[in-house]
Amino acid sequence: MDATLLELPDPLVPANRTFYFKAVKWLGGKHDGYVLAPMKKYLAVRKAQLRTVDEMLVHFQCLFTFGLLESVFERKVPEKLLLSVDSEGNTVMTDENILILLLLWWRHVQQLSQQHPDRYRRWAERVEEDLTSLETLIHRLASFCTSRAQEVAPYFVGMASVAVTVASFRGALFAHGMSAVPKKPGHSFPVSSFFPLIKDAVCSKGWCPLAIKRFLESSIILLEYAGTLKPPIHHGADCTEEACTRNTIDISTYTRKHVMETCACAYTKPPISAVYDLLQGGGIPVVQHMPDGTLCIRDASEIPYIAISHVWVDGLGSTSEAGLPTCQIERIAELVHTLLPGGAFWIDSLCIPEVRELRKQAIRKMTQTYANARAVLVIDAGIRSLSLSSPLEETALAILTSGWMQRLWTLQEGLLAKKLIFELSDGFAPLDNLFPDAVVQWCNPVLSHCLSELVRFTRRHRPDLSSIPDARIEFTDLVRFLVGRWTSRPEDETIAVCGLLNVNPNIFFDVQPSERLKTLLLQLRHLPGDIIFMDCPKMEDEPGFRWAPKSLMRSDSRVGHECRAVCTADGLEAEYCCARLAQVVRVSAGVSVKLFVKLAPQDLGDTTTTQVLNATIEKPTHSYAFNTVLLEKYPETGHAWVKGVLGLLDASDSDTVSGLRGCEYQERTMFFRSTERVVRKCAAEDASSAIVVEATLETLRVLVK
């Protein structure tokens, strides 16, 4: 029999009409009839009056749309390209011609880069300036409109969406190597004042709040696009931003599902003794479905196989001893036969026994199991609701927000795959086929945002893993991937990811679950120094590890790529910018205080102005003292906020050999830039809750404990 993996065609195509924003009422701003002007002069040319919020909205709607487009296109953009009259006679702004404008822009910039490279460079710099300026303007305008959020939210979404589209397409121009212009930071144009309204509207459609928080809220266009669709799987009011009840199972009440609700077929089990024997001998059992319906167990080293990746909430969870409904096995076998004629398949429900020691042995082999499979087939009910004819961005969004993307174990299953394939209702979608030409991606902000997350599962995304030899993923990427994932067995977290980091899982089976993440950090040894600033529950009762996260799955933070800190049994050795306080500060359990740290002017390169950092310490769980603030970065003028850790620095001088100062971790907090005026006001209103302390900045090597 032929056991060659089927070469699947590329059937996936973008939608016929790309989504940029929903039609929004035009507020009456006049654009036509004025000379072409750069964006910074757009309002001046029109002698725009900005005396009231309503006047601001009218003119800024023009500026953020026509003004931005004309400035970056260097061409007049007539009103008729964006404005039309709806069925009720209202003038509205629509996205119908945005794609045409982008393609014309693409052609213009191609010619410019080839024929006039100096003009192209100046153009690229001006586009960056325009986008940066708009980022500031939209925040300022939003601050004037908070009391009218419900009314003005659609206008802000429309304005931000045009800006995001321009910023995204600009990325395509640079990505194609038409210029030596250095890569600039991205622009997200968040409209956080209006996010609760927009998110509530999307949740009311049945989208999962956890998926929205994890994947959608960073892109206003993606959030708006989701609001135009019904989710593949409806999520009820019980789902929250912290947990998806639909994708959370209770093992004690778990029931397996048949292919059809009306089916009541018997269960089929693999030959148990064959599964046991292979695992005891160090092998990996895989399943072959025989013509007579029986299951044959083979050694994975002897036959090509497909590894199945699924979520238990879809009803495919089981053990070798219990088996699965015959209808499910027949369906899986048919899928596998289509992809790999004559091949076998591996699925945890049939190949991992309930017997504890054998279960451990099977889990030890998980990395090898998925890495050696010809392909990994993802079976997920939500993704399966899509078809080959579904718009490409809709398929990508379904994958991104699926139950499969929320579970712990599926992370390594996807990352280890030689070829990752998703089952659709009428065929298969290999992940690589989701990626069209780069220009097509960047013309489609919804698609480009989805693919920026999914690309990490592809072979095209394999960074140089210099910090962890032979690893499949960097620790910093692992942290990003784990945010929002969950498992019904939290103690499995470390075991489920250690193989990706090239750490032997055998180390963890005999370690208490509460000690496993600490053990992993010690095994990795080199960590990002900003791990101490992660916003998540910490190992508060673990000496030397009070800074360490209890779990990587419940953090809202990302960490840097540079792993310069060293994790030891005594604590984390790293270098930080420290604000050393002039006195020891003591806080009491349950008592909130406002902390004002006054930095000496010379520390910030300013000889005249005292800079103030302000943090609120909300009802500490215990009383403690601190005399320093470890800062994530140097608090330069212009930065609105900086992450900090309150610590108690040893009074003694640093260790003369290592140069380290011991620092007891107390609490993570956020510092915001403030002023002397605010300090005086707070002190006058409630002197008992305001702590004002002077500090000097110093770079120190410390042992955070």
Q: pLDDT tens-digit profile of 330-369?
A: 999 999 999 999 999 999 999 999 999 999 999 999 999 9
- DSSP secondary structure letters along 277-332: HHHHTT--EEEEE-TTS-EEEEEGGGS-EEEEEE-GGGTT---TTT-EEHHHHHHH
Same domain as 533, residue 419: no
pLDDT, tens only, 495-543: 999 989 989 888 998 899 999 999 999 999 999 999 999 998 999 999 9
* pLDDT for the residue numbered 638: 54
What pLDDT is attached to residue 98? 86
Calculate mean pLDDT across residues 275-285.
97
Query: Distance between CA 352 and CA 523 in Å, rounded?
Result: 27
The pLDDT tens digits for 22-52 are 898 999 999 999 999 888 899 999 898 888 8
Same domain membership, residue 334 and residue 415: yes
* Structural domain contains residue 470: no
Is residue 542 domain-resident? yes
* Residue-level pLDDT at 608: 60
Give me the half-sphere count of Cα atoms (radius 13 Å) on the Cβ side of residue 295.
Answer: 29
pLDDT at 168 over 90: no
* Residue 167 within any structural domain of the chain: yes
Same domain, 587 and 672: yes
Residue 655 in this model has a pLDDT that exceeds 80: no
Q: In this structure, is residue 558 part of a structural domain? A: yes
Residue 184 sits in the same domain as residue 300: no
Q: How high is the pLDDT of residue 628?
A: 96
Q: Which of 140-144, 460-464, 618-622 has the highest mean pLDDT?
A: 618-622
Residue 130 in tokens: 């325009």
Model confidence at 100: pLDDT above 50: yes
pTM score: 0.85
Domains: count for the chain: 4
Q: Which range scores top for mean pLDDT: 174-178, 225-229, 283-287?
A: 283-287
Look at residue 170 and tell me if it is in a domain: yes
Domain assignment present for residue 195? The answer is no
Q: What is the pLDDT of residue 193?
A: 66
pLDDT of res. 618: 92
Under 8 Å between Cβ of 517 and 549 = yes
Same domain, yes or no, for 289 and 147? no
For residues 418 and 41, what is the distance between their CA atoms, to the nearest angstrom?
53
- The answer on 595 and 495 residing in a single domain is no
Residue 532 within any structural domain of the chain: yes
* Residues 279 and 319 placed together within one structural domain of the fold: yes
Q: What is the reported pLDDT for 185?
A: 42
Give the per-residue pLDDT at 602.
Answer: 61
Among residues 131, 164, 189, which one ends one of the domains? 189
* Locus of tokens 């500090």: 695
Question: What is the structure's pLDDT at 470?
Answer: 63
Do 336 and 343 meet the contact criterion of CB atoms below 8 Å apart? yes
- The arithmetic mean of pLDDT across residues 567-581, rounded, is 95
Domain that holds residue 422: 267-457
Residue 390's pLDDT is what? 93
My answer on whether 137 and 184 are in the same domain is yes
Averaged confidence pLDDT in the chain: 86
CA-CA distance, 200 to 240, in Å (whole number)?
12
Q: Which is more confidently placed, 160 or 304? A: 304
Same domain, 589 and 560: no
Domain co-membership, 413 together with 543:
no
Q: What is the pLDDT of residue 289?
A: 96
Asked if pLDDT for residue 5 goes beyond 80, the answer is no
Q: Are residues 615 and 560 in the same domain?
A: no
Domain check: are 582 and 550 in the same one?
A: no
d(CA 507, CA 519): 8
699 pLDDT more than 80: yes
Crossing angle of the two packed helices 98-115 and 117-144, in degrees rounded to 10: 140
Query: Which pLDDT value is given to residue 680?
Result: 85
Among 550, 565, 580, which residue terminates a domain? 565
Q: Among 305-314, 565-574, 593-602, which stretch is predicted with the lowest mean pLDDT? A: 593-602
The backbone torsions φ and ψ at residue 456, rounded to the nearest 5 degrees and listed phi first, read: -65, -20
pLDDT tens digits for 430-480?
A: 999 988 877 777 778 888 888 888 888 876 455 544 455 566 788 888 888
**Contact (Cβ atoms closer than 8 angstroms) between residue 420 and residue 454:** no
d(CA 587, CA 582): 16
Is 672 among the domain residues?
A: yes
**% pLDDT > 70, the chain:** 90
CA atoms within 13 A on the CB side of 382: 28
| The domain boundary residue, chosen from 189, 213, 239 | 189
Percent of the chain at pLDDT > 90 equals 51
pLDDT at position 635: 83
